[in-house]
A and B are shown apart, each in its own frame.
Chain A
């Protein structure tokens, strides 16, 4: 994953809060934590904030919900209209479900309770820093079900392009390296080379992204791409003939050919880190799931303020008839529900 954290551009962050003391603490604490990569601006009124925004493009505005005159929610709405691309976060000393919903509805990416401890400030800093640095990857983004992965590889090869195709689902991440129109390396799960390429092309579903080319750790594939793709199709058909009708030919967890029937995926939603739905399957209420994922992220942030356990990865719920995984990372939100018993074909 190309983390934007490596981008050391000076980030402009504006805090809007009528509590001068809090603004002072923010400067004192977040300044050193950012190691000089944040330029912190502070405004104690919304007027002062708007004036600053006229002269300085900000990467992030953090707004206190409780402010006199124009309160934080109204201010978020105003910012959304004037600066639709600006990332916004609301902060409050007194969190409530009502404020959280109003803040998110007003366009805040995050709703955060004001920290009271060093750990809390560190946790909030980490969240804000991740948000600032989050940027959708350049390039094409597609879904296996809608645009064939094979089609994209063909286009890249025909165009003699150099790129890396990142193929992923909730369990595995695979990479296919194309250099000057030739497939030179593939890796996924524990597999590399042609076998990895074949299994990635046989995945029952998932997502892929075309990202800028980088040299692979090794070159494991050679030969004409036409032959490689034909061979992959042949292997997929061969695997399909050996599996239970209706079951995927490749285990989406390991890329191995399944030996037993897997659990049934009931519902899947994949979103960007900011909650923009990218893919869903069999989900009756995508917005509801996105809200759930955002709520999980919020609650996890509060837990992280209590115990130093590092960044949050996922919530797992064991249900009587299956399992739910709600993954909330800075760069992606994923909701998957599986049932224990496979559906007979």
Chain B
């Protein structure tokens, strides 16, 4: 039986166009999934590890954003950080079915019971 975080990623974060996704636990450990070969789980983990720098770059500590989206020519990376320390990262292709799911998934993640 997979843990709830991993199960949520499998169940919910895999619409067509999702390239990779991952969760970082409050203890720093990550659960990452690669959906497309060019976006391996190890790199997703690296992206999650880079989040503190990304947050600092945008000075978001003072702004308390609900989420942030780094938009590139061919895709977007969405980060959602919860007050309890959980972090979600979603990488989606532009103009794909996954793009409009970013907001609902982010809202769902913020309300999810995940424990530690």
Contacts and interface: CB of A to CB of B under 8 A. Distances in A.
Interface residues of A, number: 26
A307 B45 CA distance: 12
A279 interface: no
Contacts of A300: 70, 72
Main secondary structure of the interface of A (DSSP, over half): mixed
Contacts of B65: 317-319, 324
Interface in A282-334: 292, 295-296, 298-300, 302-304, 306-320, 324, 326
Contacts of B50: 299, 302-303, 306
Contacts of B77: 303, 307, 309
A299 B54 contact: yes
A299 B57 contact: yes
B70 A312 contact: yes
Contacts of B76: 309
A296 B50 CA distance: 13
A320 B64 contact: yes
B57 A296 contact: yes
Interface of B: 19-20, 38-39, 43, 46-47, 50, 53-54, 56-60, 63-77, 91
Interface of A: 292, 295-296, 298-300, 302-304, 306-320, 324, 326
Given A315-B58, A320-B64, A326-B58, A310 B74 contact: yes
Given A295-B58, A299-B53, A303-B47, A315 B71 contact: yes
Given A295-B57, A299-B53, A313-B71, A308 B64 contact: no
A306 B46 contact: yes
A46 to B, nearest CB: 30
Top 4 nearest A-B pairs by Cβ distance?
A310-B73, A309-B72, A295-B57, A310-B74
B72 A306 contact: no
Contacts of A319: 63-66
Given A295-B57, A295-B58, A303-B50, A324 B72 contact: no
Nearest to B74: A310
Contacts of B64: 319-320
Contacts of B75: 307, 309-310
Given A311-B72, A320-B66, A303 B54 contact: yes
B67 A296 contact: no
B48 to A, nearest CB: 10
Contact of A292 (B38, B43, B59): B59
A24 to B, nearest CB: 27
Contacts of A312: 70-73
A194 B61 CA distance: 47
A321 B68 CA distance: 14
A264 B91 CA distance: 30
A31 B8 CA distance: 46
A310 B72 CA distance: 6
A307 B50 CA distance: 13
Contacts of A313: 71-73
B72 A292 contact: no
